[in-house]
Structure 1
């Protein structure tokens, strides 16, 4: 994603209505991704946790929006300080920005750039929530979002995309968020679950998705919104780079889905809808950092590699004993690492920048830069996220009680249930009880 750059006055761009409209549409598409993520995650949990899972994503729209306006945009994209953080008083409250003021070096207003970046800031903490399903207090989660966005996401966004940020200045390529979004969120998820522990019944009780149609709906909407996420990250559509990113997003996602399904068929003997949805998301994650630097053939390779490796990675939680409820680590962390590192192999030097990967005669230089970016963000997010979770857990408690977790977090935390089974199929003379109306999975009624 290109940050602001300074141009000579003679070369100063003018407002482009076309690019401005394009970026507003892209911003709306990225906003849609957070409710889409809520559907995707919500269908993957058991009935008794559906609303909580939806709300853990949805609340980010409220919390992060306010923080972004108050100080987040300034921290992420303000004037650099020590290559680690930004700050510009004009960005505080978005109060010192003229309505026609352009983002330096581009043809869109600062307001448009700010709202586009806001949508990235919103979805990133929401991604973490999938690892914590069934067991986290909603108030503790809301506090965690506010703290994590402030001390992790805003600084990392500056490192990667802000003018003067140390990873940006080093030449690390992250077109739309492989490090700042996906590795950041995946590492944070690992840090938190190491602190709060496993769900009751992990590896013992069946914890199957309660609504695969909801999962597929969420995946489809994510795929749709991701075009704004990726193609919009060039901040305009004048030179064709955004169009290449759009194409690469589609083909990498398709390749990843097919690779995941092929692995699943060989390994488990079936092509599952959950595998198709998860494979598509893995491809979207992997192409996010790389799609602006590779060709469509390279995008196919990146997607296929990510689909295969992410499909293999989701089983690691059973081997190593960490309870990543909805495979945030297996898909977002692994997918982000794969996509970011593969820039060092597949960058052609002819799209986003002149940097070339190993397969195009560039040697190991770019791969080294990508590795530094990957592991710096991973380590920082992992450690700080674990510390935040530890402090919250020791002060207000991060987990719900055992009784609440077993009975269902929806009723305890939200005083609601996702589905009303009390009248299902019943009339005035029906003898059916509410539990008779529950769907059956593996000859057992799902948890209400």
Structure 2
């Protein structure tokens, strides 16, 4: 006889805290977790999701783990637990599209207007949703989902709690109502104090709109959490002071400190973002200033759980010692790469300069086309492949990298999967009068 969910209730199984307790509604699938350690366990597709399929997926997962043939067997969170099937945590990330282009984020490349209605899917498993279930909105930008307002209302009317992670560009009336009702909280990553730094990091000029929306939300609720991801582009004292000044002006009660995750990584960091002693001092300065202003301040586990430290209450705290994770073999001459949030910023930086595209591959050719479209003149191309030297791309002769790197006052554009290697080579062979721009994205 086929096993049923009821057959496992209250019994010990090999699983993790997520099994039966969590669902993630993603843009393209539905998963059990977002575990980076081994990869997410996929429960099914959005189009064929049903109560029966959910139950069958759970049963299949339990059987696979028991047999030792699941990806979850390799996860450190997998252990013997008492099985219960009350869904207590649900994430809603129905689209990868975002109307911001935060410099460190890859969740804004989706299609505009995308995003499905999660309500019919939630209704199908409502019998398993715990009365105290917590809903966590993300993406992409959730307010762009065509069904966002009615979904916020559905969650609130059913008495569930929810957190909306938003860039704040769009004001949501249903979010305001849920905040006023006390069933919602709101979290925004501001990552800057001044308008100039905000544009540099967030890639859009809606600074005033965002702060006006924060002010409006704050009028109905204390549950507004502003997050500051510290890295080398926003760690100046004046940025933190201005961020705190704006926060106190609207009477913000909660601030979250984090580090940009790729800058604060475990591995040696080749760039393009960095967490140096300056950033270490900045997070402590931000913490101390929040305490002085009686602002509730917490440490995010997103980056700081990499090398965690805890206080006497077992709460994550800021690192007490600076850890230098910079790959100095790559940045051997101290030429750190720069990076920009969008194409407009990139073009503004390279116009009227001596620019050299490092690499004559497909990405280098795309970058050349972008420069030509934007009438950037004097572009040169270099490569290490001797078979390419002397050949032409759109009339531009490909030059030998080793020869050109000996020149001065150039701006090298690195792009694609070999960017870190190119940064290393520039540092090894070029003098400090040269600059590096790590091209993150561009539209042809």
TM-score by length of 1: 0.28
TM-score by length of 2: 0.29
Which gives a bigger RCO, structure 1 or 2 (Cα 8 Å, sep 6+)?
1
Return the structure number with greater helix share: 1
